[in-house]
Amino acid sequence: MKMNGARILLECLKLEGVDTVFGYPGGTVINIYDELFSFKEIRHILPRHEQAGTHAADGFARATGRVGVAIATSGPGATNTVTGIATAYMDSIPMVIITGQVPTPLIGNDAFQEVDIIGITRPCTKHSFLVRDVKELATIIKKAFYIARTGRPGPVLVDLPKDVQIAQTEFSYPESIELRSYKPTVEGHPKQVERAMTMLLGAKKPVVYVGGGAILAEAAGELTQLCDLLGVPVTTTLMGLGAYPEDRPNALRMLGMHGSYYANMAMTYTDVLVAVGARFDDRVTGKLSTFAPHAKIIHIDVDPTSIKKNVRVDLPIVGDVKDVLARMVKEAQAHPEKVALFTSAIEPWLAEIAGWKAKHPLTYKHAAETIKPQYVIEKLRELSAPDAIISTDVGQHQMWTAQFFTFTKPRTLLTSGGLGTMGYGLPAAMGAQAAFPQRQVIAICGDGGIQMNIQEMATLVQNRLPVKIVILNNNFLGMVRQWQELFFDKRYSQTCMELPIDYIKLADAYGAKGFRATTTEEVAEVITQGFAHDGPVIMEFMIAREEKVLPMVPAGASLNEMVLNA
């Protein structure tokens, strides 16, 4: 059956299981939107900005594990997606971004709204395609989804010229695809897994260090099974939160710059470190020369380029994290006597960690006169649904959420880790709510980040997406202010945001509901009222203005050189 390129694109998306796309129309994608008008199998959500649409596709992907899809027109529409693409690339999120392009004869002629989006996004996409022939379109879309979701996931861009959308050809969608130069290793080498278990079971002070790769690989079950079987201490990165339940006694919570005291101390003194789907980024390692100085390191990752990139590794295992962990569980189950000796041998280590937990728990000083942000996060955890999905922007509120929310399930925290993108939280929550209309979705934001994509309130209201937005308002760009306080003699240069914005009126202007708490006593009531409302809500909490995120490892310091709560 003959179809034009625009229709072929939609048919391909349907066959890939796509039921929701986030897109913004324009001249070079108008043919796609004309076909969408009568194409009922795919729900289209119109954001108010292309960056937000890309973040929404990202949030959809993180919450579901499926490929998120965004559409934008050429020129400024395409360039507006770049921050969202880079955010997804840094955190390995599977996405396909469709951009319109000027007709192929005009490419390179500086035509109206022409940009080289392939060139612009080359450093922040897993792969990109410029479709020059409608006969290649179906195969390219198949390749794009395959590349986006396999191996180490990531965003793939498909640039689709207007004449290719109009041209017609017979539609045929390939059942499978094979790329000669792209063959991710899925199965971990059995001998390497054997060696890893021998090394781990010989440890006296082991730590399992978990990154976002464990969540991306859907490996939380295998991870929990292995760590519970061995009773080994587990710490997670910001991206790994939820991969292992934080309410387990052997959970060390998050490590790194704003990690727990006991996680960072454990990393300093461990003798065998098992890194699972993590990349040893600078926020985790602190000063590289003093990172885990006594440890033999086992590194499990599907991406071989991530192994030995930042730290030396004694035993690399390239493979899908889920597969490797399942093999490790089988090895452990096959040698119960070795496991028994191991669990007995690490008892003094667990006692030492328990001592660190008792000495320096994650805590804060209560104050009757002002709202402490940590208290708000604790109340949100207490009053929210067990399967609530949390998104955040970037800054102090992000770290307080990581420290005090207690994540027990994978894919329940959506946050920009690698790129640190302010303005991510609201549209990411929008994407998650579109994926799960019946689940509670909470966007925790600062008063700086919320204003970067506040226009998406209109999208929430129009599409009846009942996202609950929490604004921790200190009238500062809080994290930068904290650094200025600690390291720049309190010279608060351009971090004070004292223009009084009435978020209650703003919510009302968009057709949403707004609540505000100015005292500690009002916090629980505002959260309860906000959760009870059946539409989008802004809950504003006027928090202590100069509250800091602690512990903190200063830049260039070792993990055991933490600034602690007084």
Positions annotated as catalytic residues are: 50, 112-113, 162, 479
Task: Assess contact for 82 and 89: CB atoms under 8 A.
Answer: no
Three-state SS sequence of 18-61: CCEEEECCCHHHHHHHHHHCCCCCCEEECCCCHHHHHHHHHHHH
Task: Assess contact for 294 and 288: CB atoms under 8 A.
Answer: no
In whole angstroms, give the CA distance from residue 128 to residue 458: 31
In whole angstroms, give the CA distance from residue 444 to residue 428: 11
Q: And the tokens for 493? A: 């240069």
In whole angstroms, give the CA distance from residue 515 to residue 470: 10
In whole angstroms, give the CA distance from residue 372 to residue 409: 26
In whole angstroms, give the CA distance from residue 73 to residue 563: 48
Q: 40 CB contacts (<8 Å, ≥6 apart)?
A: none
Q: And the tokens for 292? A: 């885990």
First and final C-alpha spacing in the chain: 72
How buried is residue 366: exposed, middle or buried, by Cβ count under 10 Å (0-12/13-18/19+)?
A: exposed
Q: What is the amino acid identity at position 455?
A: Q
Q: How far is CA 244 from CA 199, 223, 467, in A?
A: 22, 7, 26
Closest by Cα among 523, 479, 521, 526 to 507: 526
How buried is residue 420: exposed, middle or buried, by Cβ count under 10 Å (0-12/13-18/19+)?
A: middle
Three-state SS sequence of 145-184: HHHHHCCCCCEEEEEEEHHHHHCEEECCCCCCCCECCECC
Q: And the tokens for 213? A: 């790769």
Closest by Cα among 23, 1, 518, 559 to 252: 559
Q: 344 CB contacts (<8 Å, ≥6 apart)?
A: none
In whole angstroms, give the CA distance from residue 273 to residue 411: 24
Closest by Cα among 518, 517, 515 to 535: 515
How far, rounded to the nearest angstrom, does the alpha carbon of residue 335 sit from its chain's CA centroid?
36
